[in-house]
Chains A and B, each alone.
Chain A
Amino acid sequence: MHRNRISLYLIIAASIAVFAPKTAFALIGGCVDSPEDPTVVMALLGAGAAAAPFVWSRIRSRINTK
């Protein structure tokens, strides 16, 4: 019952979005800048990527020992 209500809500929301007139974009306002992430965010992402194999191997070894 609960799941059916959610599905119905999603279908209605998607229908409104798809069939909304293109002039609705006029309300969004302006041209969106397309900036890159700040370099500090990229450095943290890069550090995460560098650490990922070590974290993964540690998780795998822990799973194997169990």
Chain B
Amino acid sequence: MAAPTTLPSRQAERVVAPGDEASLDWRVLSAILLVAATGLWWMLGPQARYLWTLWTTNGLASIGMLIPVASIALAIRAWRGRTWDRRGTWWGLALCATILLLAWLMKEEGIPILVYGRWGLNLLPAGVLTFLYTSGVVLLFAGHRAYRAAFFPIFLLLFLNPVPQSLITLVDLPLQYAGAHTARVFAQWIGVPLAVDDLRLMFSPALGMFIAPGCNGLRGALAMGLLTMIAGHHYGLPFAMRGVYVVSGVVLAYLLNLVRLCGLVLCYRVALGFAPLARHMEAADYVLGSLVFFSAALFVFAAPRKWKSLKNQSASS
């Protein structure tokens, strides 16, 4: 079988309007979106409902609902101002056909799962299928150069379901214990009397906090990881530096969750002497977490901005 060739360019036949050549062709972009959406709906219809339920009921996975929005916005940004030469390749069609065939097989035969002991890993989750199918559509309609330009936004689609369940079950409990231990040590350090019952820290018989699975720092780490990935791409950090930046963001967000827990211990300390405040501890927790995360994000986003301005300065001098 002959290798798929490049689609003939119709650029020469097109009447190019002044200033049109170097702009994003909205008709091609609409075609990409339409074909991608139709194929994805056929392929991932049941999984789309599953993803929506996951995003709206699971606090950790909820960031997934912003991934398609971010992906489309970054793709438009990457393609804006580029010469749209329409050099699509038939490799894209081959990739799309393969993914649709796999999706059909999955509907007929079930999802391929790699099982090791009591761990199971879905080999073709919704994110991987969407990433591969969208890659195929972009290659088919827009070609290699456009695909390379928009690789990062397409790559983001892998995080539609941001963390596999198997990974969550692996790290959830140890991180909960780490959080509970830190809060307990801090409470003892500031002299707050505390009854400790495993992951439950009781400041009085009826006032206390429970280090729930949703407060072990995983949410902040995940959100900061994705945000630093996008910021690193936006500011054009070199690949190695981007890796260090993302890892630093994840670690910082995790450590700041421990700061949040210590801050919450202080809030409970105040609430012990001020009963009406005790009713609002959950709200205080959310506000405290928001403030800590917002401050960290300001600091984290300042770093690549500074790097870019220093780079521009050295380039100009």
Contact = CB atoms under 8 A, between A and B. Distances in A.
Contacts of A34: 209-212, 215, 261, 264, 282, 285
A43 B226 contact: yes
B208 A32 contact: yes
B278 A46 contact: no
A46 B223 contact: yes
A42 B206 contact: no
Contacts, number: 136
Interface stretch (B11-19, B39-47, B144-152, B197-205): B197-205
A35 B214 contact: yes
A33 B63 CA distance: 21
Interface of B is mostly: helix
B273 interface: yes
B130 to A, nearest CB: 19
B170 interface: no
Nearest to B272: A22
Given A18-B273, A25-B205, A43-B63, A33 B282 contact: yes
A32 B282 contact: yes
A63 interface: no
Interface in B262-302: 264, 272-279, 281-282, 285-286, 289-290, 293-294, 297-298, 300-302
For chain B, the bracket of interface size reads 35 or more
Contacts of B286: 37
A48 B211 CA distance: 28
Contact of B62 (A31, A39, A52): A39
Nearest to B228: A46
A37 B257 CA distance: 11
Contact of B206 (A26, A43, A45): A26
Contacts of A47: 227
A36 B219 contact: yes
B220 interface: yes
Interface in A1-57: 13, 17-18, 20, 22, 24-50, 52-53
A25 B302 CA distance: 43
Contact of A35 (B65, B274, B285): B285
